[in-house]
Copies of this chain bind each other. A is one copy, B any other.
């Protein structure tokens, strides 16, 4: 899981790291299929989205983006994602701190490198501090929406799978009717020979008004 290609072209000159969402979505915008549960964490048919990860250690775009996610030094996860992933047994990758944003902190202490957070700005600030000069990985649709609403998300790396699921849990939902400008900073087309493993990796930087650019939370 070593990193070769950590990308920070947006931070050139500032040294600031990115809080970056990393999610696989269907073209119709779903991150899991319908009726997801702890027993069926990806919903009906939702594991189709993860076929491309079979090639996550290969050279090329899939290996590159996976290595980048593994090079992050802190994780922010939503509660549902965390629970559906069996709490990663306390270690998402390399023992980096995992900040789980939740409304209700569990009574038992968190496992491994997990910490619970209930306030989105504080959660983001702690993750930024923990990551040092590295990036923060964000996992989960609900927490992505919370960070977007709070203005704490810097980038999105979306792995767009050429499939329609029809129904499920949407990545972009429950957002206010406000325009957010983005910049497409990278696109990598993983044109696998196997149609079932093809995927388009799109990286967007979230633009914010100049006047608030210096209001860093780290």
Contacts and interface: CB of A to CB of B under 8 A. Distances in A.
* Number of chain copies forming the complex: 2
A204 interface: yes
Interface stretch (A80-88, A112-120, A157-165): A157-165
A164 B184 contact: no
A132 interface: no
Given A29-B28, A29-B29, A200 B175 contact: no
A37 to B, nearest CB: 15
Contact of A181 (B34, B163, B178): B163
A211 B167 CA distance: 25
A184 B189 CA distance: 10
A177 interface: yes
A187 B184 contact: no
Contacts of A162: 181-184, 204
Contact of A28 (B45, B48, B172, B183): B172
Bin the interface of chain A by size: 35 or more
A44 interface: yes
A163 B180 contact: yes
B187 A189 contact: yes
Contacts of A177: 33-34, 44-45, 165-168
Nearest to A44: B177
Interface in A186-218: 187, 189, 195-196, 198, 200, 202, 204, 207
Interface centre among A29, A34, A164, A183 (most CB of B within 10 A): A164
